[in-house]
Amino acid sequence: MSNTIMPTYGRLPVSFVRGEGAWLWDQADKKYLDALSGIAVCGLGHSHPAVTEAICDQAATLLHTSNLYGIPNQQQLADKLCEISGMESVFFGNSGAEANEAAIKLARLHGHNKGIDSPSVIVAKGSFHGRTMATLTATGNRKVQAGFEPLVSGFIRAPYNNLDALQEIATNSRGISAILLEPVQGEGGIRIPDSEYLAGVRALCDKNGWLMMLDEVQTGMGRTGKWFGFQHSSIMPDVVTLAKGLGNGLPIGACLTHGNATQLFKPGMHGSTFGGNPLVTRGAMAVISTMEQEQLLERATSLGERITQGLRTKLKENSSVTDIRNLGLMIGIELNQPCAPIVGNALEHGLLLNVTADSVVRLLPPLILSNDEADQIAEQVALLINQFTTTNKEESKS
């Protein structure tokens, strides 16, 4: 590959030229089963006809005006997002990082409105919120931050899924205006918190006047079996951020607000040149309509259980596997050893997956999988993990 592209990615030795459903084809016409869907982006798989038709029609009609003017497609999408989330207003950007930047700005406005000179946001260890300066500072992974100091001030880090730690911060810290959390940590290793965690966070936010802000960039848009991860609990957040599955590959992000957070932004305080333009909002509406018509929320739940159960059955004798967990089609298989080589081994066998947090095989397949494709993923992943751990064990003995 030419060196005219900045080397910001550690790319695998493959380039895809076409896709259909859960499958991709490379330049040599080799076929790959996509169990990662662009890291939770292509929930409807590749080249879904409804999305393709919508964006082709819109591209032939009107691509872009400006947010100086009304955009009917944007209004329609905002109305629909509020309907399915229970939130009240939406700001559109181009990515999850932009959506989280908007949330962080809302937290600071909220703090200043309360008379706090230097408001802080509580964020979680092991989190991932993006790679802009504010969002990489909020991210709880030192590898993401290294080399980019000085970081942005105004963040306090707490252990994830630990209400006692949050209570201790509330007792000992001044100037906090918000908490920013993922309902399930994706990049952190598919970490699913205790069932009472989000309700406890909500109670702390209410008690202290903090905004409860949820990063649903990976958990949103049906990935967990509900439209949004927070809907597995009984709480309503103040701010929710989206991206990834919202556009099925189109670059779109959204920051949704509820209650007091809805009144914080005023004209001129925030913006995005391309955010919510006619093309991406038309495509996102097609995504939501298709998910409703094909009942993909229920499908995500049943497919997640099918794959996870298959993995548990096939890996039950493997003592190197310490946990298999899922919420819908967010699936993590944790090993007691680093396992990054499994990604390359899977690629050779025509399967796309990912390893995160060093030792967790992460699966984020599309929601449109057939049962046979789901079974194939479970079969191949279990085989690859068993081969990898057996080889490692034999090498350690020699």
96 labeled part of a ligand binding site:
yes
217 labeled part of a ligand binding site:
yes
Question: Which one, of 329, 331, 324, 313, lies nearest residue 383 by Cα?
Answer: 313
- Residue whose token pair is 């942005």: 152
91 labeled part of a ligand binding site:
no
115 DSSP β-pair partners: none
Is 91 assigned a catalytic role? no
Do 106 and 255 meet the contact criterion of CB atoms below 8 Å apart?
yes
215 labeled part of a ligand binding site:
yes
- Which residue out of 128, 228, 265, 388 is catalytically annotated? 128
16 labeled part of a ligand binding site:
no
What is the longest distance spanned by two Cα atoms in the chain? 69
Is 244 assigned a catalytic role? yes
What's the rounded Cα separation, in Å, for the pair 182 and 188? 10
280 labeled part of a ligand binding site:
no
> What tokens were used for 146?
């290294």
128 labeled part of a ligand binding site:
yes
131 labeled part of a ligand binding site:
yes
- Which residue out of 228, 230, 244, 265 is catalytically annotated? 244
Return the number of other C-beta atoms located less than 10 Å from residue 313's C-beta: 11
For the CA atoms of 214, 218, 220, 221, what is the dihedral angle to 10 degrees?
A: 160
- Which residue out of 34, 91, 92, 215 is catalytically annotated? 215
272 labeled part of a ligand binding site:
yes
Cβ-based neighbours of 172, under 8 Å, separated by 6 or more: none
* Plot region of 100 (φ>0 → left; ψ -120 to 50 → alpha; else → beta): alpha
Q: What amino acid positions are annotated as catalytic residues?
A: 128, 215, 244
Q: Please give the annotated binding residues for pyridoxal 5'-phosphate, written as ranges.
A: 96-97, 128, 215-218, 273
Q: Please give the annotated binding residues for N(2)-acetyl-L-ornithine, written as ranges.
A: 131, 272
